[in-house]
Amino acid sequence: MVVANRKMHGSIPANQLFLRELLAQTRDFKNADYVVCVPHPYLYQVQAMLSGSHIAWGDQHMSRFTLGAHTGSVSASMLLEFGCQYTIIGHSERRAWGYETDITSAQRYETAIRAGLKPIYCVGDTRDEYMAGETHKVTYKQLSAIVEHVGVEGLAKGVLAYEPVWAIGTGQAATPEHVQSILGYLRSQIAALDAKLGAEIRILYGGSVNAKNVLQLFCMPDVDGALVGAASLNKEQFIAICKAANEATDDRCALLVADD
C-alpha cells in the first residue's frame, strides 16, 4: 500500500498534472493499493479526477466531533461526501503543531471508523526518544491509546504507520533493518491481543521514503507499504515508489537479497 501525504502543498493546475500522470503511469499496477491524501480544498478536484479509477483518496486531518460549533473543523461526514475512504490521524506534525494527543487521536480514530472511514494511524519516536532507546515504549503507548479506546475490533478497521519523527523530511530514512525491527515489534504486540489481526493488519513505514530506498523497505517481512511525504510532491519519484510496490513480489525480493 502506497499513500501520498501531500501535506500543505498543491494548486489546482499542479494537482491536475500530478494526478493525470499518476493515473496514466500506474494503470497497469495491480499488485498494490494506492492512495492520495490532499488538503481539504482539493478534495472536490481529486474526487472528480480519481472517481472510478484504481486510486483511492483521503484527507490529512478530521474533527473528532460529528458536527457542531467547531469553527474551522471538518467532519467525517463531510469527507465521505467527497468520496474519501481514508483519513490520516495522529501524524507527528499534528501532534507537534496541532496539539494532537494520544487521547484526541483515539477519539478521531473512533469517529472515523464509526463513519466508515479507514484511519491511517501514525506512531513514531522523536530523536531524543530514539537515542534514549525508548522507541518501543513510545510506539507501544501510542498504539495502546487506540486499543484502549476502540478495542481490537476497532484497531482492525484501520492501518498503522510507523513514522520516526527524526526521519520525516530530513532525508535520513531509517534503515530497512531498523524499520523491520520496529514494525515486527508492533505486529507482535498486536498478535498478543489477536493472532489473526497481528498477521493481517497493514503496517506502513514513513520518513524520507524515496525511489532509491523503497524496494529494500518493501522487501522487509513486516512492511506492508509506505506513507510518502516529500517524495509524493515529485510525480516521477512517487510513480517510481508505486512501481516498486507493484514489483515487490516474493521472487523479486528473493533476488534482491541474493544480490546483497
Q: What is the 3-state secondary structure (H, E, C) of 169-188?
A: CCCCCCCHHHHHHHHHHHHH
Q: Is 129 a catalytic residue?
A: no
Alpha-carbon distance 67 to 63, whole Å?
9
Rounded alpha-carbon distances, angstroms, from residue 237 to 10, 31, 43, 139 = 16, 18, 22, 29
Q: Is 200 a catalytic residue?
A: no
Residue 196: CA count within 13 A, CB half-sphere: 3
Catalytic residue, chosen from 9, 81, 91, 148, is 91
Catalytic residue, chosen from 61, 93, 100, 163, is 163
Active site residues: 91, 163
